[in-house]
Structure 1
């Protein structure tokens, strides 16, 4: 991310991993290969930290200060809406069955193509460009994201201030430097604890075993998926607001 850029990782690298994941899953279906399916599943799991970390990082760096929170939360809301839309497609009467589930992979590949095409016209993070010494490109990116009438000097001064706080000549700070700084160390510990609770907490267990538990307690597969879909629809206002 600090070497190749936020956009490269959030867009091109993420799209490449997603494409490979879809291809391996598709091969697993067409050739009845459990090995190919397993590789595709692992690659699909690798997309999560990129989506939840680097993509949000990229959006937050590009967004104006006044609406940064709105843009970042908007990513979460849009993701929730897409999950609900996918829920309709994955009902057993449509694509959620043994005969037609692989068609979702074709849809995913098409979405990846649209994603790359649309993101091609979006500039790189202005902060990353500024830290790389590409000041002319950084100013162009700032104007693209913040508007032509933005105070360029105040934004670039903020970049320089952040760079001075890091106290390093490189574009990033290593783990040892973070641990030696009291403020950064506290932030790191807080982030780690938050992620740990999220990974081992009841919500993660529900996310993984929700459908399985419903089937175990008497639901059919169709009933379990339909119930999950309507439950997501009921929680939609919480996702949006």
Structure 2
């Protein structure tokens, strides 16, 4: 299965092209502002679900690398596994998407970009800006969520190879971004299961990695020169 890299505008497929396309899922933009908008604080259960989804995603990647997670699980507040069956279903869907993505050239490119980030020197502000480029809220798809999880997990695994404290820092910063940015959008769209488990989107979402990787490289190089 091949996913061809397509050069797009920084915010993905232009709206006019998406509206007139017979293959692309119509873009749904969350409402901005107070009340039900992106700026509204997500509820506690939705945030907790996001934490469990990301923690379990990272822990499975660490297991696949045949690395120990005992020291890591002792320092993170969220235990392995899910306390809600629906959350577990969403987690399985994310993993299925990631496994399909792993078969593509874009997944290797994303891993290479994650490897280019100096996690020993990067600050939280730089880390947040890097993830912001990776995750445009104006071009929201479930593939974007999966790609964000893959990128952050790659960094966490690298951190664990250096030391558990660095891994915990990457996980903490990733969760801070997910809580502050991603969960608010997820809430406006009906919750994690509604976003991740819905039908109608497919491999076309992965082509955005080609653009994301280029943006990430520019950001990393800029930070390293400072």
TM-score normalised over the length of structure 2: 0.26
Larger Rg over CA atoms: 1
Normalising by the residue count of structure 1, what TM-score does the alignment of the two structures yield? 0.24
Higher relative contact order (CA 8 A, sep 6+): 2
Specify which structure has the higher proportion of helix.
1
